Amino acid sequence: MTELPIIRLRPKSKPQAIRHGFPWVFADELVTDRRTRAIAAGSFAVLEDAERSPLGIVTFNADSRIIARMMDPDPQAQIDRAWIAARLSRALAMRERLFDKPFYRLIHAEADGLPGVIIDRFGDAAVIQPNAAWAERMVGDIADALREVAGVSTVILNGQGRARGLEGLPERMETLSGGIDAPVQVQMNGAIYLADLLGGQKTGLFYDQRPNHAFAQRLSQGARVLDVFSHVGGFGLAALAAGATQATCVDGSAPALELARGGAQAMGAADRLVTRQGDAFAQLEALAEEGAQFDVVICDPPAFAPSKPALEAGLRAYERVAKLAAPLVAPGGYLGLCSCSHAADLTAFRNASARGIGRGGRRMQLIHTGQAGPDHPVLPQLAESGYLKSLFFRLDG
């Protein structure tokens, strides 16, 4: 085994957090000199505390604010294809216990022991997002281990998104093995979704909302439902599967709405789906001018607060969504509001939502708080792994 370089925490850094499971080292916590800066991005190193006691093997990237990510607390571990396969096997065993069909998030980054790596599975196909430099460098080994452990034949690399930019990685899209020439049908909660693995947002489908779709279905029987920021019809198609009389999906993406219509058609519910393309805020205002009312309104916007500098503006945006959506809810109806922003914690998001509902002239009861499904496990030491928040209110007045 090649001897790994050694990097060291500054004297005032707190190694206890690393020892207790926190997986990141920030650039200002590490001793950096010409030698450390010469370490290639994505290389492995042994992390030591200020007293030279080893803390484990990390992956290093001087171009990232997260300069080191913990790979293995064993400083003798060898990070290779077999090591990756072992992590994949452990993750797969849990998903196979939780889900009847192979449609789920297989790897949720640090929470599954593969820092910066997202893998979503779609039956015989899988999409890898290598959002850390080490994963970009070893994506061939990840793909080989994935085929070996999960038995998939098609593996797609989706190298897009903000996280890669923060690591200094370029955007790219590549089919690593197999191939796919049409959207994949995914069944969840009785609905059928069409996932575009090559051209859709993220990996093609948002598995994280599965339990929140299921809760919304309990409110949707015989209801008129509005799904804003719907993507491929997440909440809208779930509502139709539960017996909603009509679901209206609003999104800015024409291709996403086309996939929503395809899903509704596959379910035999095309006649109960209405789509409206355009800016979500403008569409909410237009619906109010039309005097539209719905029994259930759900808004699942993109991350308005993806980082701490964006937090205040993001919270104002969430408040505005709630303010515009609240008047569209019929008396005694329900409003669901979601946030996937890392920087906005549950309390901040709940307060912004409540302010918005109040400014929309409505009184409220909070009846349910949801999060991502169990295929998106949370690393308790890393708040960012528990990013999704879902609030359901009953509105009066």
Catalytic residues: 340
Rounded to whole angstroms, how far apart are CA atoms 272 and 294?
14
Question: CA-to-CA distance for 266 and 369, rounded, in angstroms?
Answer: 31
Long-range contacts of range 158-165, CB-CB < 8 Å, 24 or more positions apart?
158/127, 158/128, 158/129, 158/197, 158/202, 158/203, 159/129, 159/130, 160/129, 161/129, 161/131, 161/202, 162/306, 163/116, 163/129, 163/131, 164/130, 164/131
Distances (CA, A) of 63 to 42, 66, 70, 118: 10, 9, 17, 21
d(C-alpha 249, C-alpha 231), whole Å: 8
Helix axes 311-325, 280-289, angle to 10 degrees: 20
Distances from the Cα of 18 to the Cα of 47, 73, 78, 194, 306, angstroms: 10, 9, 19, 41, 24
Residue type, 380: P
The two tokens of residue 257 are 């709405």
SS3 188: strand
Taking alpha carbons only, the member of 209, 198, 193, 204 closest to residue 260 is: 193
Q: What are the angstrom distances between the C-alpha of 280 and each of 64, 94, 138, 147, 359?
A: 33, 37, 39, 40, 18
For 363, the token pair is 């009184």
* CA angle at 203 for the pair 202 and 204, rounded to the nearest 5°: 95
